Amino acid sequence: MRGRVRLRLLDTRPLRHSQPFRDLWIGTSVSQAGGQIANVAVLAQVWDLTGSPVGTGAIGLATGLPMVLFGLLGGTWADTVDRRAVVRATTAGQLLAAAALCAQALADNRNVLLLLALVAMGTSCSALGAPARRTFPVRLLPADQVAAGLALTNVSFQAAMLAGPAMAGLIIARWDIPAAYAAQVASMVVSMLAVIRLPAMRPEGADAAGGRLRPERGGWRLVLRRPTLWGSMATDLSATLLAMPIALFPLVNEIRFGGNPQTLGLFLSAVAVGGITAGLLSGTVTRRRRGGLVQLSAAGVWGLALACFGLAGPLWLALGCLAVAGAADTVSVVTRSALVQLETPDAYRGRVSSVEHVIGVAGPELGNFRGGLLASATSASFSLVFGGLSAILAIAAVAATNAPLRAYRTPPAHTKPTVPDVADAAAAAGQVS
């Protein structure tokens, strides 16, 4: 009975068994909360400076473009030198950007371009380090605990998404915008201390001097040649590109619930609550070895829940559908991330992680744009229902045509399944970029 109860709860083995992972998790959790606080501060300051939705929309450009560009560059860097050094350098850059944001707010800066440039600087550093960070759990944990470690990271992210904006509102109301930026500075100091304590993590196969000058090329080709990798990423892209609902929240709120801003906030909170709940119960899925089947199923539930949200009338039903969607998204993200890391040879993990990062960034943004365009031509309900059902059909097509993904099993504990495959992966990639 005790074992059955444990299976249903959050799997905390990575925190108990690996001090480096525990340090990384604490630092990441704190920095994510600080980042959410700073995001609200940036939004408030840009609105104060411009009073225009175009100005606040420009924040998306200042963050989205650096994420894509520097995320791809970061993948190559992560496969060239010690990944700990990459994350140390980029975390230091984020700390400097946070300190500069705090300084400009204290100086009562009135130049919105300067503010957006500092936001872009911090985002660029974060994107450069993101692929290297994604490789840490698989290097710090045994194979059977990688999914559990990613679930713990996702729980802290969802908690930051839920609590960070509320904390920002309290801080800004009591101490003004500079205090919110100061909170981010403090959080980045904690993150920097955690990264400093990590062991060295050179790409496997790198020379003793710290890495190769020219890593094997073929990161994108490797993804396309391995059915488990392209299938997992195609599943995620199908779900986000065809069924992302965030851009439609204001329209749904206006039509069905009178445009109440509290209701709009509840939509976002419901997704986060679902994600946190799934994370807290993630032991149910992180111990299961059929990761590909779990991801396909969770992505299908995401599409179905959002189609139901498009038809839901009562508020409680709409929020319930969003909570289910948030839970399904968490399960899908955790299983996909674990599969990608475990299926990728270490010499390629940085670049494959950068591909995953770009898909994770671009998919939701393009999905929101698609949903908004379709809703403007039809209706919010049609866009949500059509998008959700389209996502289910696309995911079913991936499942039907990708037997290796359906059959994928997580390697047993204390195995390193990807290391012997480096030479084979290079051959499969054709040594071309």
Per-residue pLDDT tens digits for 337-370? 888 878 888 778 777 877 887 787 777 867 877 8
Residues whose CB is less than 8 angstroms from the CB of residue 314 and which lie 6 or more positions away in sequence, other chains included: none
Separation CA 121–CA 391 (nearest Å): 35
Question: Can you give the pLDDT at residue 417?
Answer: 42
Average pLDDT over residues 180-199: 94
| CATH label, 1-203, candidates 1.10.15.40, 1.20.1250.20, 3.60.40.10, 3.30.70.980 | 1.20.1250.20
Q: Pick the closest to residue 269 from 173, 165, 365 (CA basis).
A: 165
The model's pTM is 0.70
Average pLDDT over residues 244-265: 77
Q: What is the pLDDT of residues 305-336, one digit of tens each?
A: 999 999 998 999 999 999 999 999 988 988 88
Higher pLDDT among residues 264 and 116, named by residue: 116
Most confident of 125-139, 194-208, 352-366: 125-139
Separation CA 21–CA 151 (nearest Å): 13
Question: Can you give the pLDDT at residue 418?
Answer: 44
Question: Can you give the pLDDT at residue 283?
Answer: 67
Separation CA 83–CA 136 (nearest Å): 8
C-alpha distances in angstroms, 130 versus 133, 248, 290, 294, 350?
5, 29, 26, 25, 9
Question: Can you give the pLDDT at residue 245?
Answer: 83
Indicate whether 433 pLDDT > 80.
no
Q: Where are the domains of the chain?
A: 1-203, 214-433
Contact status, residue 32 vs residue 157, Cβ threshold 8 Å? yes
Separation CA 239–CA 207 (nearest Å): 40
Indicate whether 213 pLDDT > 50.
no
Higher pLDDT among residues 260 and 39, named by residue: 39
Question: Can you give the pLDDT at residue 414?
Answer: 54
Q: Architecture of 214-433 per CATH?
A: Up-down Bundle (1.20)
Domains 1-203 and 214-433 share a fold: yes
